[in-house]
């Protein structure tokens, strides 16, 4: 019969797995597609894939919503809404007719592509908002303190 400690550890493990699934499931379909496209291209270039960072995605989604409301693309105040323990941040913003179109535009631009493929980054947060026939997208990259 398992000991109380073993049962407790098993329960903690199950809760951790469930929490990870819930947090991953918090991304919309468009957000998940954006993360998948970034990680596909990073992996194709031999870079590490980037896990979604909930705080960065909250910031990115709020900014995508703001750009859609305003009907224009602009950079955010990058440090607002980001963890205080960070070494570097980067941001891509755009509007296109689809999430895939956002990614194609970023990969076709040297500066945006450099952000996507930068070796420093260890987390990503993304936001996608549809307004009419336009998708507004935001990617926030972070090199954390660890």
Q: What is the pLDDT of residue 23?
A: 45
Residue 40 backbone phi and psi in degrees, to 5? -60, -50
Output the pLDDT for position 19. 41
Q: What is the 3-state secondary structure (H, E, C) of 84-106?
A: CCEEEEEEEEEEECCHHHHHHHH
For the entire predicted model, the pTM comes to 0.82
pLDDT of residue 53: 97
Structure-block tokens of residue 74? 């602009």
Segment 10-27 shows an average pLDDT of: 48
- Count the neighbouring beta carbons within 10 Å of the beta carbon of residue 93: 21
* Confidence label for 22 from pLDDT (cuts 50, 70 and 90): very low
pLDDT tens digit sequence for 76-127: 999 999 999 999 999 999 999 999 999 999 999 999 999 999 999 999 999 9
Calculate mean pLDDT across residues 6-15: 46
Residue of 20 and 70 predicted with greater confidence: 70
Token pair recorded at residue 131: 């307004």
pLDDT at 12 (0 to 100): 43
* Predicted pLDDT at 26: 84
- Confidence at residue 2, expressed as pLDDT on a 0 to 100 scale: 58
What was the pLDDT predicted at 1? 57
Owner of token pair 């076709």:
108
- Using CA atoms in the order 81, 83, 87, 92, what is the torsion angle rounded to 10 degrees? -40
SS3 139: strand
pLDDT, tens digit (0-9, with 9 covering 90-100), for 36-80: 999 999 999 999 999 999 999 999 999 999 999 999 999 999 999
- Predicted pLDDT of residue 127: 98
């Amino acid at each position: 019969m398992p000991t109380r400690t073993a049962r407790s550890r098993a329960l903690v493990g199950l809760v951790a797995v469930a929490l990870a699934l819930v947090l991953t499931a918090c991304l919309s379909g468009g957000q998940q597609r954006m993360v998948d496209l970034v990680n596909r291209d990073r992996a194709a270039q031999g870079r590490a894939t980037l896990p979604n960072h909930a705080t960065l995605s909250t910031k990115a989604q709020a900014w995508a919503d703001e750009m859609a409301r305003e009907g224009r693309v602009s950079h955010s105040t990058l440090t607002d809404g980001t963890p205080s323990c960070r070494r570097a941040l980067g941001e891509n913003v755009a509007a296109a007719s689809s999430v895939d179109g956002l990614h194609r535009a970023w990969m076709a631009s040297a500066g945006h592509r450099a952000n996507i493929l930068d070796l420093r980054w260890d987390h990503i947060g993304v936001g996608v908002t549809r307004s009419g026939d336009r998708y507004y997208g935001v990617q926030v990259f972070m090199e954390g303190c660890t």
